[in-house]
Amino acid sequence: MLVVVSDTHAREESKLQGRTAEAVREADLVVHAGDFYREPVLDAFESAARALRAVYGNNDDAAIRDRLPEVRMVEYAGVRFAVTHRHRSGDTGLVMLGRGRDADAVICGHSHRPRFDDSGGLPIVNPGSHAQPRGNRPAHAELEPGDEAGDGEGETALDGRLVTPDGEVFERFRIGA
């Protein structure tokens, strides 16, 4: 399972609770889309996850910016993701970033609003914030390989869901097929 989190905004710890903490510990891969805030929080995520791939966000300190890129590519189950915290040009910029890197989808954070949007030609996953939702639902995203895409080329689809720390699944989506 791939777990996506973002916008922790903490000083000392990961602030992982409930299903979010469980999912991060169980995941094959965890992606953090930026705004850990302080370096001990990045360290806490590295300790909690089997494998962590992350980018820095606009509120991350210099120590985090020294350790992480602004944009990175992550592949999971044959699906290529462009990962960044935000783009100045909004969704259009995110789609262009993804296309420019030959991605199948984009992972971003920044808004603290969990959402999946595939209306712009390239799917965008924003897990929201598990720790500081700012009026939105606290959430993370979970993605798992689903059925083959059915195009005869062996491509795998990822079945995704947005989940609260209480374990409530409030949106399901698919990347691929």
pLDDT tens per residue across span 35-55: 999 999 999 999 999 999 999
pLDDT tens per residue across span 98-155: 999 999 999 999 999 999 999 998 999 999 999 999 999 999 999 999 965 444 455 6
pLDDT tens per residue across span 145-171: 996 544 445 567 999 999 999 999 999
Place of tokens 């606009």: 58
pLDDT of residue 150: 47
CA distance 163 to 99: 27
CA distance 130 to 104: 25
Q: Are 105 and 81 in contact (CB under 8 A)?
A: yes
pLDDT tens per residue across span 52-102: 999 999 999 999 999 999 999 999 999 999 999 999 899 999 999 999 999
Q: Are 12 and 41 in contact (CB under 8 A)?
A: yes
CA distance 75 to 49: 17
